[in-house]
Amino acid sequence: MNSLKRLSGFIWIALGVAAVFMMARQAGTEISAAITANKAVLDTKMFWYIIIPIFSPIMAGLCLFGWYAWKGEYDVIARDSEHLV
Amino acid sequence: MTSTSASEPMESRGLMKVITASSVGTLIEWYDFYIYGAMSVIIAKQFFPQDNPTAAFLAALATFAAGFVVRPFGALVFGRIGDVIGRKYTFLLTLLLMGGSTFAIGLIPGYASIGIWAPVLILLLRFVQGLALGGEYGGAATYVAEHSPVGRRGYFTAYIQTTATLGFFLSLGVILTTRKTVGVEAFNDWGWRIPFIVSIFLIAVSVYIRLKMAESPLFAKIKKEGKVSANPLKESFANKRNLKMVLLALFAAVMGQGVVWYTGQFYAQTFIERTMSVEFEQVRYLLCFSILAATPFFLVFGAWSDKIGRKTIMLAGMLLAIVTYRPIYKMMYSYSDVKAKTEIAENGSRGVAVAVAANGDSTITTTSVAVYTDGSTLKTVKKEVKLADASKPAAKPETTKTLWLSSAGFWMIAFLVFIQILYVTMVYGPIAAFLVELFPTRIRYTSMSLPYHIGNGIFGGLTPFIATRLFDASKTSENPGGDPYVGLWYPIIIAGVCFVIGLLYLPNKNDEDVND
């Protein structure tokens, strides 16, 4: 089980990186399409200007989670919360 | 580890007082937060005229930034205060801020009176609302959990979990009652202010109740022993051993819980109203029935999580949602799909009205009513403007559809929404106890509030918006109606990832001792 936990850590890192990359690519495509068509430019920009800064740090958190998993930090979950600090 | 006197079970009468005092305040905060969303269309007309780009920009910012971005910041600010000064005074402060800002929104003159100051003031007050909400939940959940006896924490904190749904129910009820009392026209003009102003009385009652409460026994104990954290933010997020638990809470539980909650309670409403075009009041009534029927299950699943573990119930709720969302929404949509219905031609009607403006432009309004054999009625209003100056480009005709469901359709959709809210009760009922048990007393408020508000405010809160946007993007020239179910992929994928992470990494055993 612990090997599976560690190995899948790599998946979470890849997922975090892929999500940011896909968001940036989609934002570029949609904003340029809106500008070309001169349609809903403000709405499109607003959507992505909000989505990307909000989700990018969260995806960085997912990568960090994956890193910790990969390093075996979740092999044993502390049962006593006193040992967390 | 043995429980100390601070964690000894309170007498049940005393505990119910604690729960009532905490729940009433939290319920009112949710009410305050939801009435803005429920009346965003009216508020937009009063404060954010669409022909002014700055005002339109502020409108979007007020809707998104305050609801989603500011909540995690509120969690950090008030979480820190709660871990340093105490739970009681912190959630008194959040209550006052929420109530004060809601009351003030009800008093602000519209854009027509004070110009750009109107949207700026609304935006500022909405920020304060978001901050206050970010601080409230962690305080209330922590406060109740720290009073609860071992082995019943899931059950007692589930009372706090009902408040978000009941706050939504209360907001729907107050809005419907006010609308019925003053009439639709007066409501859109000034009556919408009443639900905001009423908030001040609700807050006054809640503050009175909360002032009489004592500090959490666990916090009082660590304060007496001088163990209060000097820097909860640093201890929570700069300490790897705690940070990894914050990340685990977010990605293995709260992220999926957030999307299941917002799909069942809010995207369902958006879908029924926008995609299915069901009439305004019918939507609110069927939501009210579904919410009322499902709310007791928060307590059922909260209590059950004390026996079989938080993980089992939360992940079961997520899995059920992942597997059944598409069939549920397909079944709901079938009640509005007129292609599959048989029209009773002799019961329908069609009328055309032409209005000519002073500049010679004419507006042609075509109203048609179709009655179907299943008892539903569809009203279609098409407005077309013919410009006097034919050289100018003509505007696109505007079509509005309103569907009145048959009695059977109404109850069937109410039942399908009830099922979705049942999933909400499974994932959301045990979450407060789960989060409280994950973190130590000295930094509990801060540590649990941040993942909660990222999961619910951002992943969950954006669900209706992202799902609706996916639906709009699916409309093409080949398929102008779009794919009505495409929006569901967002909650399904997020809940799916969360389910796998939860299954792999979460322990199912409850931490019996939160006295550390």
Place B108 in a pLDDT band, splitting at 50, 70 and 90: very high
Cβ distance A79 to B507 less than 8 Å, yes or no, reads yes
Distance CA B511, CA B18 (A): 22
Q: Number of structural domains, chain A? A: 1
Chain B contact present for A6, CB below 8 A? no
CB contact under 8 A, A84 and B247: no
For residue B454, which residues of chain A lie inside 8 Å, CB to CB?
58
CA distance B219 to chain A (A): 14
User: Is residue B314 over pLDDT 90?
Assistant: yes
Give the pLDDT score at A85: 41
Question: Considering only CB atoms, which chain A residues are within 8 Å of B243?
Answer: 64
- B421, B487, B427: which is closest to B256 by C-alpha? B427
Which chain B residues are Cβ-neighbours of A78 within 8 angstroms?
A: 241, 245
Give the closest of A51, A55, A64 to B247, CB-based.
Answer: A64
Q: How many C-beta atoms lie closer than 10 Å to residue B515's C-beta?
A: 22
Averaged over A31-39, what is the pLDDT?
A: 85
Which residues touch B237 (CB under 8 Å, ≥6 apart)? B243, B246, B450
**Alpha-carbon span B115 to B390, nearest angstrom:** 35
Chain A residues in contact with B239 (beta carbon < 8 A) = 84-85
Alpha-carbon span B312 to A15, nearest angstrom: 25
Q: Which two tokens stand for residue B25?
A: 């305040």
Who has greater pLDDT, B489 or B141? B489
Query: Quick check: B408 pLDDT over 90?
Result: yes
Q: Which of B289, B20, B302, B45 minimizes the C-alpha distance to B161?
A: B302
A1-15, B24-38, B419-433, B449-463: segment of lowest average pLDDT: B24-38
The β-bridge partners of B372 are B343
Would you kindly state where each structural domain of chain B is located, as residue ranges? Answer: 5-336+407-505, 340-402
Chain A residues in contact with B509 (beta carbon < 8 A): 79
Closest chain B residue to the Cα of A77, Cα to Cα: B507
Do B253 and B498 contact (CB within 8 A), yes or no?
A: yes
Output the average pLDDT for chain A: 87
For residue B505, CA distances in Å to A15, A72, B312, B377 come to 17, 11, 13, 51
Is residue B2 very low, low, confident or very high in pLDDT (cuts 50, 70, 90)? very low
B65/A61 Cβ within 8 A: no
* Closest to B278 (Cα-Cα) out of B412, B456, B150: B412
Decide if pLDDT at A84 tops 70: no
> B298-307, B376-385, B393-402: lowest mean pLDDT where?
B393-402
Instruction: Tell me the CATH architecture of domain B5-336+407-505.
Output: Up-down Bundle (1.20)
Q: Are B271 and B329 in contact (CB under 8 A)?
A: yes
pLDDT score for A79: 62
Cβ A79–B509 below 8 Å, yes or no?
A: yes
Asked if residues B429 and B301 have their Cβ atoms less than 8 Å apart, the reply is yes
Nearest residue of B to residue A19 by CA position?
A: B494
Residue pair B126/B36 in contact (Cβ under 8 Å)? The answer is: yes
Kindly report the backbone phi and psi dihedral angles of residue B364, in degrees, each rounded to the nearest multiple of 5, phi listed first: -100, 120
- Side chain identity at residue B163, one-letter code: T
- Quote the DSSP letter at residue B250: I
Nearest CA in chain B to A67: B244
Q: What is the DSSP string of B453-498?
A: HIIIIIIITTHHHHHHHHHHHT--SS-TT--TTGGGHHHHHHHHHH
Could you give phi then psi for residue B267, rounded to 5 degrees? -65, -35
**How wide is the angle at C-alpha B448 spanned by C-alphas B446 and B450, nearest 5°?**
70
- Which residue, A29, A60, A22, is CA-closest to A44? A29
Tell the residue number behind the tokens 């507006």, with chain if given: B363
**Contact residues on chain A for B251, CB-CB shorter than 8 A:** 12, 61-62, 65
A42 touching chain B per CB within 8 A? yes
Residue A79 forms part of a structural domain:
no
- Identify the pLDDT of residue B61: 59
Question: d(Cα B474, Cα B412) in Å, to the nearest integer?
Answer: 27
Please spell the DSSP secondary structure of B2-39, one letter per residue: ---GGGSPPPHHHHHHHHHHHHHHHHHHHHHHHHHHHT
Nearest-CA distance from B439 to chain A in Å? Answer: 6
Phi-psi region of B395 (alpha: psi -120 to 50; beta: other; left: phi over 0): beta
The confidence score (pLDDT) of residue B329 equals 97
CB atoms within 10 A of CB B56: 18
Tokens of B207: 């503050």
B501 within 8 A of B251, measured Cβ to Cβ: yes
B469 vs A15, A47, A85: nearest CB:
A47
In a domain, A78, yes or no: no
- Do residues B290 and B169 lie in contact, with contact meaning Cβ atoms separated by under 8 Å? no
* Chain A residues lying within 8 Å of B514, measured CB to CB: 81
Query: ipTM of this predicted complex?
Result: 0.91
Q: Kindly list the strands in the beta sheet with B362-371, ordered across the sheet, starting from the edge strand earlier in the chain.
A: B349-356, B362-371, B377-386, B398-404
For residue A8, the chain B residues in CB contact (below 8 A) are: 500, 504
Q: Give domain status of residue A36, yes or no.
A: yes
Task: Identify residues of B whose CB sits under 8 angstroms from chain A CBs.
Answer: 1, 53, 56-57, 60, 64-65, 68-69, 235, 239-245, 247-248, 250-251, 437-440, 442-443, 454, 458, 462, 469, 497, 500-501, 504-507, 509, 511, 513-514, 516
- pLDDT for B378 beyond 90: yes
The pLDDT of residue B176 is above 80: yes
Judge: B245–A85 Cβ closer than 8 Å, yes or no. no
Q: Domain range holding A23?
A: 2-70
Question: pTM for this one?
Answer: 0.88
Identify the DSSP state of A40. S
Q: Is the pLDDT of residue B3 over 50?
A: no
Distance CA A13, CA A7 (A): 11
Q: How many CB atoms lie within 10 A of CB B239?
A: 16
pLDDT tens sequence across B245-280: 999 999 999 999 999 999 998 899 889 988 899 998
Lowest mean pLDDT across B268-272, B353-357, B473-477, B490-494:
B473-477
Whether A67 and chain B come into contact, CB under 8 Å, resolves to no
CB of A82 within 8 Å of any CB in chain B? yes
B79 to chain A, minimum CA–CA distance in Å? Answer: 17
In a domain, A8, yes or no: yes
**Which of A57-61, B67-71, B198-202, B257-261 has the least mean pLDDT?**
B67-71
- The contacts of residue B339 (CB under 8 Å, 6+ apart) are none
Exposure of B87 by Cβ count < 10 A (0-12 exposed, 13-18 middle, 19+ buried)?
A: buried
pLDDT, average across residues B345-373: 89
How far off is chain A from B182, nearest CA to CA, in Å? Answer: 34
Question: Which residue among B68, B442, B504 places its CB closest to the CB of A8?
Answer: B504
What's the rounded mean pLDDT across residues B457-471?
A: 85
Cβ pair B507:A58 closer than 8 A: no
| Shortest distance, CA A67 to any CA of chain B (angstroms) | 10
For residues B127 and B70, is the Cβ–Cβ distance under 8 A? yes
In eight-state DSSP terms, residue B362 is: E
- Reported in sequence order, the residue ranges of B4-139 that DSSP labels E, i.e. its strands, are none
B307: Cβ–Cβ under 8 A, 6 or more apart, which residues? none
- Report whether B269 contacts B421 (CB < 8 A): no
In the predicted structure, residue B1 carries a pLDDT above the cut 50: no
- Report chain A residues whose CB lies below 8 A from the CB of B68: 54
Single-letter code of the amino acid located at B43: I
- Average pLDDT along chain B: 87
Residues of A within 8 A of B443 (CB-CB) are 85
**pLDDT tier at B212 (50, 70, 90 boundaries)?**
confident
Q: What is the dihedral of CA A81, B1, B5, B9, to 10 degrees?
A: 80
A79 interfacial to chain B (CB closer than 8 Å): yes
CA distance B47 to B30: 23
Alpha carbon distance B250, B354 (integer Å): 57
Contact (CB<8Å) A12/B56:
no
**Residue A76 covered by a domain:** no
pLDDT of residue B202: 87
Tokens of B149: 């006896």
What is the rounded distance in angstroms from the CA atom of residue B508 to the CA atom of residue B225?
A: 32
Cβ pair A80:B1 closer than 8 A: yes
Q: How many CB pairs under 8 A join A and B?
A: 86
B208 or B508, which is more confident? B208
**CA quadruple A37, A39, A45, A47: dihedral sign:** negative
Characterize B332-368 residue by residue with b for buried, 16 or more Cβ atoms within 10 angstroms of its Cβ, and e for exposed: bbebbeeeebeeeeeeeeeeeeeeeeeeeeeeeebee
Q: Is residue A75 part of a domain?
A: no
Six-digit token string for B119? 């949207």
- Interval B126-157: pLDDT, tens: 889 889 988 888 888 888 888 888 888 999 99
Give percent above pLDDT 70 in chain B: 92
Residue of B nearest to A15 (CA): B497
A64 touches chain B (CB under 8 A): yes
* C-alpha–C-alpha distance, residues B125 and B122, integer Å: 5
Q: Least CB-CB distance to B250: which of A42, A61, A78?
A: A61
